[in-house]
Structure 1
Amino acid sequence: MATSDKTPELEYDYEALPSNYGLGANMLAGAFAGIAEHSVMYPVDLLKTRMQILNPSAGGLYTGLTNAVSTISRVEGVRTLWKGVSSVIVGAGPAHAVYFGTYEVVKELAGGNIDDGHHPIAAALSGASATIASDALMNPFDVIKQRMQVHGSIHKTITQCAKTVYRTEGLQAFYVSYPTTLCMSVPFTATQFVAYESISKVMNPKNGYDPFTHCMAGGAAGAVAAAITTPLDVIKTVLQTRGLAQNEELRSVRGLFNAAALIKRNFGWSGFLRGMRPRIISTMPSTAICWSSYEMAKAYFKKQLSE
């Protein structure tokens, strides 16, 4: 019987999950991607949170993105733009490890790696499964992050913030926004993964490692998904920062529909678009960084396995 002279590196396409490519390597690549993504774009995320607050204190009122940057830098100092970043760094690594680990496993089980064809259903299912798993881990860290981001926050460290929230509001405060987060993240991730896979197939039909393709496809996919899910992101911010609100109605808001009604009553339909620009501005490069970092780590591990 004739034997193949192909090297292991050529026996699988880039996007596939080879049999000797372990889940641990996928998770390590995902952790690297998550920390890189959130750390670099953190200041813009802080601006988004500040602009989505419904009833901010007097010093937390901004007329736009540029005004927010200049006001915060002048009054509170440039370092304020990074306040709470430690929560993201601590949570993003494990959460993204679970995220990409789940993505690769579900994608393999759903038949997304069978051939070089396009598999949008497998991509959407993989993305949805990944976000359900990772958000369960990340949600408490996201609550802590936003509590530290708002203007006038008294929280200095993630430990102190976590203890204060738990003592005053109980464990439920860390998960009150989880259903809303899933309502936002599942369509966001499903849309992002389908768009990313689709754009990648068009730009890079050979499925080879191509940093430009991964960067462009990731950024474009993130922008589309961010714009579509902004209303749910506003609701999530209202729920996650309710404990800091001075308005009693805001402090007692309890769920997705209650928060949505409150936003509509106070700000009309335009209230659901608060912070859309900084959300898109932060999401485009962050998803580009995330996918580029993840694919770079994957390429590195696969190269090591082929040697």
Structure 2
Amino acid sequence: MATDASPQLRSVPPPSDFHPEISLSQSPTHDGLHFWQFMIAGSIAGTVEHMAMFPLDTLKTRMQALGASCSVQPVSVRQALGSILKLEGPPGLYRGIAAMGLGAGPAHAVYFSVYELSKQVLSRGDPNNSMVHAASGVVATVSPDTANDERLVIHATAGAGAGALAAALTTPLDVVKTQLQCQGVCGCDKFSSSSIGNVIETIVKKDGYRGLMRGWIPRTLFHAPAAAICWSIYEASKSFFQQLNSR
């Protein structure tokens, strides 16, 4: 005679000390910080950096964008600064800083969180691997070492050196970008297309190869201390959150 031999399932009560908990916060990463703490640290660092260095960025943009038919024709940092102060006063150096400040925070929150997440994914348990820092820095543009025991001055020096070198090497592309943004304004050249090659050819034909390096001094002066400020504040913010989490 056939019998029903199917197993009977019984619920097992959970242990008395079991307390389920649902957390919306991500578990701490390789540096002992949460994802949102990386974002806050990066946002603070980026905002302070850009607001502190905004006058130099204004000088750089003016030197790159002003064309021959403009009434202001700066050929040096001193002349550019004098022209702005004479025509617009000190506020001219800070025109547009509000819009920049609003954008710098979110942008750097993404910038540094992507850097840290890339470093964590690539490290595979070895956060001090130099190749990891380099690869993560490609994602975030600049890649100084971020070992926990480094001092503030090392972060500042490494950031300044990396920022200055990157700024000098990428000046031609920044000139092209600025020319495309400002074309047709105050006598600036208008281009038949947005092709990088077309813009470079026009600049070289008009100003020679020196035209591609226009504004490289204020650009370098901007990015060196800016990177030093940004990375120093970022690492200081990380240290603050690490101490906060350890309490």
TM-score band, normalised by shorter chain: 0.7 to 0.9
Paired position in structure 2 for 1:107:
119
Q: Does 1:238 align with 2:166?
A: no
In structure 2, C-alpha distance between the alignment counterparts of 1:212 and 1:113, rounded to whole Å: 27
| Inter-CA distance 86–115: structure 2 relative to 1 (3 Å threshold) | closer
Tell me the secondary structure at the aligned position of residue 126 of structure 2.
Answer: coil
Tell me the secondary structure at the aligned position of residue 60 of structure 1.
Answer: coil
CA RMSD of aligned residues (A): 2.1
Tell me the secondary structure at the aligned position of residue 130 of structure 2.
Answer: coil
Paired position in structure 2 for 1:173:
none
Q: Does 1:90 align with 2:102?
A: yes
Where do 5+ consecutive residues of structure 2 fail to align? Answer: 1-27
How far has the Cα of 1:304 moved from its partner?
0.4
* 1:30 pairs with one of 39, 42, 48: 42
Note the 1:1-307 alignment, pairs <5 A.
Answer: 17-18=29-30, 20-53=32-65, 55=67, 57-111=69-123, 114-119=126-131, 122-130=132-140, 189=141, 192-193=142-143, 196-197=144-145, 207-244=148-185, 246=187, 250=190, 252-307=192-247
Q: Any conservation in 2 of the 1:209–1:299 contact (CA below 8 Å)?
A: no
In structure 2, C-alpha distance between the alignment counterparts of 1:127 and 1:115, rounded to whole Å: 14
Sequence identity of aligned pairs in percent?
Answer: 38
Length-normalised TM-score, structure 2 = 0.82
Larger helix proportion, structure 1 or 2? Answer: 1
Task: Show CA shifts across 1:252-283 (max 9, x none).
Answer: 44132221121112111111110000011111
| Inter-CA distance 295–20: structure 2 relative to 1 (3 Å threshold) | closer
In structure 1, C-alpha distance between the alignment counterparts of 2:58 and 2:176, rounded to whole Å: 16
How far has the Cα of 1:241 moved from its partner?
1.4
The higher radius of gyration belongs to 2
In structure 2, C-alpha distance between the alignment counterparts of 1:284 and 1:253, rounded to whole Å: 33
Q: Any conservation in 1 of the 2:70–2:187 contact (CA below 8 Å)?
A: no
In structure 2, C-alpha distance between the alignment counterparts of 1:126 and 1:104, rounded to whole Å: 7
Tell me the secondary structure at the aligned position of residue 59 of structure 1.
Answer: coil
- What letter corresponds to residue 219 of structure 1 in structure 2? A
Tell me the secondary structure at the aligned position of residue 43 of structure 2.
Answer: helix
How far has the Cα of 1:89 moved from its partner?
0.3
In structure 2, C-alpha distance between the alignment counterparts of 1:113 and 1:221, rounded to whole Å: 26
How far has the Cα of 1:59 moved from its partner?
2.8
- What letter corresponds to residue 208 of structure 1 in structure 2? D
In structure 1, C-alpha distance between the alignment counterparts of 2:75 and 2:212, rounded to whole Å: 17
Task: Show CA shifts across 1:115-135 (max 9, x none).
Answer: 53422xx333323333xxxxx
Q: How many residues align?
A: 220
How far has the Cα of 1:62 moved from its partner?
0.9
- What letter corresponds to residue 87 of structure 2 in structure 1? V
Tell me the secondary structure at the aligned position of residue 244 of structure 1.
Answer: coil
How far has the Cα of 1:19 moved from its partner?
7.1
